[in-house]
Amino acid sequence: MKMRERIAAIDHFSGLDAGQLDRLLAGSRVESYAAGAAILDPETSPAFYSFLLEGRWWMRRTIRGVAPRDWIDDRPGNWHGGIGLIDAVAPPEVKAETDCTVLHVPRNLLDELAGENPHLGVAMLRGVRGGATMLHKHATGEGE
């Protein structure tokens, strides 16, 4: 499957029209990471969203004064970074658990596309809600 089709098959991007998909692809970059390689560094606030295309990654979010929250995911379309407040409160550290392929989309481009495309906008809001809820529960001990 070609990269364009692989990206278009991810739920977040499945509602983009051809022009929006062209803009996404033209403004983004796809990178491969070997197992163990750093994808996102907690010392640097990412100016982009990172979407897992294939492989499995390990993620850690650390809220000051709270034990780190770690998890592993292999779902294509899983994403990290890009939400300034969440990244400031709980900086992301992401490493390749296995060899990974990742789509990095600049924050301004994805934000623009999400504002234009309701399907992408709702999918991103769902992800923000899920991530923020998980971090809130972890920080407060609610539901753990």
What does the alpha-carbon distance between residue 37 and residue 22 come to, in Å, rounded to a whole number?
Answer: 29
Q: How far is CA 142 from CA 3, 125, 132, 133, 135, in A?
A: 40, 22, 13, 10, 10
Name the residue type at position 84.
G
- pTM (2 decimals)? 0.91
Task: With beta carbons less than 8 A apart as the criterion, state whether 117 and 20 touch.
Answer: yes
In the chain, what are the domains? 3-140 (2.60.120.10)
pLDDT in tens, the chain (144 residues): 699 999 999 999 999 999 999 999 999 999 999 999 999 888 877 789 999 999 999 999 888 888 888 989 999 999 988 788 888 888 889 999 999 999 999 999 999 999 999 999 999 999 888 888 888 888 888 865
